[in-house]
Each structure stands twice: as structure tokens, then as C-alpha cells.
Amino acid sequence: MHLYRTTQGFFVQANDAWFSLPDTDWDALIAHADLHGYLTSLIASGKTTSAPAADTILAPIGTQEVWAAGVTYFRSRTARMEESKDAGGGTFYDRVYAAERPEIFFKATPQRVARPGQAMHLRSDSKWMVPEPELTLVINPSGQIIGYTVGNDLSCRDIEGENPLYLPQAKCFKLCAAVGPCLFITQNALSPETKIVLTIQRGGSVAFSGETTISQLKRSVTELAGFLYRDNTFPTGALLMTGTGIVPGDEFTLQSGDEVSIRIDGIGTLVNPMA
């Protein structure tokens, strides 16, 4: 089932049919003790409706914080080591890739999250920025993974590479994250062959494309969620980006006007321009 938050209310898509939800509180919906069962019962007893217009779709987030895990793919480990070697930080990334404890950092408050189709922000003090396409976990207040969405962890490789202590500035700024277009609500684990595809359009042509599968994740999603919730509380739940396995070459940086498209099998496609 695919759960959408829109300006016209909440909708569920299931088996190519659309259903309108009576709920008006997104946080309460995410915190439901059995969201999958609740939505299933609504679909069974509800009437179908028209699909919401594309321009009404909002980011599927209420007051949840967005967090992120880093260096969870080997490609990410290699890229982080390369960008920080001159600052003496290269070994940090090699060590965290193999360590018991993962890298987990705060990414964004809801106000810093772009909705589908909304322009994301390119920092004025960065000359090397890339999108990071990431499977994003939707976790309820009790720490249970209730679904998944598509995430874009927009990042400044030069700022982080200059000094690992600059990570918050490289990662967290206005409209630094995007999630959507919906939540894929499921009780089942995703197939390891679930594909993540990144395409960057520039001036009508493809400037970069790449893909990976979640089988390349070094850590399980339950492990990452467990570390996020360890000795922490999330009263309305949280979103956790799980890292990227697609990194453009060192010569590439985003430009204003670029369009970034991220597709994850079974979940959907998230598209955002850069500004």
C-alpha cells in the first residue's frame, strides 16, 4: 500500500485503486499501533476515489525528524575517504564502515524537507554538491519499521571533506532533504534486489545516471533503526535515510536548474529541481 499526504487530505493507493482516509492528523496516523492493519480495514470497507493531482502531493512527513546513516555502502566509504584524505580524515570512514557502531547523524527538521517537485537548495559556500539517493525508513514511536520512502540527502562534499567536524554544515541547511512521493506501508522486508536508480537531467540531457540495489547495504535496516532509537525517544516517530551506494565522479557537481530523479522499486519516484 502507498500512503500519500496531500493538500486535499490523506490517500491510500492499493491495487491501482485510490481511497481517501478520514484521518486529519499525520502524526497520529504514523503512530498507529497497527498502521498496516488499519489501512487494510479501511480499504476493505471504503469507496474508491480519484487519484490526487500531482501538484497537491506533499512530503510524507509531519513533525518527524529526519536522520541519516553514513558509509553504509562500500562506494560511499571509498568516496568519503577520497574527499577527506587531504584533511587527514580518510581513515575515519574506513574504520566506521567496519565498526560495530554505524555513523548516524541528524539531517533535517520537517521545515528543511522539500516536497516532491519543490526546488532544493544549493549552498552558496559549496562548490561540490551531490544528491544522495537513499532508501528511507519510516519508524513509529516504538521503533518499529512500518514502511519506506525515497530520500534525497543533498550533500556538500567539499565542506565535509575539508574537515569531518564540518559534517553538520555539509548536511543540514535549508531544503537540504527531500522525501516522497509517498510511504510504502508493508509488513514484509524489501527484496535485496530492490533497485535504486538516480538520474540527473541538465538542459534536457542526462548529466549523470547510476543505480545500485539494497543488497549492497553493509548493515541491515533493523540494525540501523535500532542504533537510532538506542537511548533516544521519538514521540511522533522518525525517518532514517540509510546511506547511498551511488556517488557521481569527483568532477561532477550539481548546478542550479538540474533535475534530480530518484526511483526505488516498489516505492516510487521522487523528483526535485535544484536552485
Express each pLDDT in 197-233 by its tens digit: 999 999 999 999 999 999 999 999 999 999 999 999 9
**Global pTM?**
0.94
In this prediction, residue 99 carries a pLDDT of: 87
Claim to verify: residue 188 and residue 247 sit in the same structural domain: yes
Claim to verify: residue 185 and residue 230 sit in the same structural domain: yes
Claim to verify: residue 87 and residue 193 sit in the same structural domain: yes
In this prediction, residue 100 carries a pLDDT of: 87
Domain extent, residue 50, equals 2-56
Claim to verify: residue 46 and residue 72 sit in the same structural domain: no
Claim to verify: residue 52 and residue 69 sit in the same structural domain: no
In this prediction, residue 222 carries a pLDDT of: 98
Percent of the chain with pLDDT over 70: 93
Low-confidence stretches of the chain (pLDDT beneath 50): none
In this prediction, residue 93 carries a pLDDT of: 74
In this prediction, residue 78 carries a pLDDT of: 58
Claim to verify: residue 80 and residue 51 sit in the same structural domain: no
Claim to verify: residue 122 and residue 186 sit in the same structural domain: yes
Claim to verify: residue 154 and residue 262 sit in the same structural domain: yes
Claim to verify: residue 18 and residue 105 sit in the same structural domain: no
Structural domains counted in the chain: 2
3-state secondary structure the chain: CEEEEECCEEEEEECCEEEECCCCCHHHHHCCCCHHHHHHHHHHHCCEECCCCHHHECCCCCCCEEEEEECCCHHHHHHHHHHHHHHCCHHHHHHHHHCCCCEEEEEECHHHEECCCCCECCCCCCCCEECCEEEEEEECCCCCEEEEEEEEECEEHHHHHHCHHHHHHHHCCCCCEEEEEEEEECCCCCCCCCEEEEEEEECCEEEEEEEEEHHHCCCCHHHHHHHHHCCCCCCCCEEEECCCCCCCCCCCCCCCCCEEEEEECCCEEEEEEEC
Claim to verify: residue 79 and residue 142 sit in the same structural domain: yes
Claim to verify: residue 48 and residue 16 sit in the same structural domain: yes
CATH of the domain at 102: 3.90.850.10
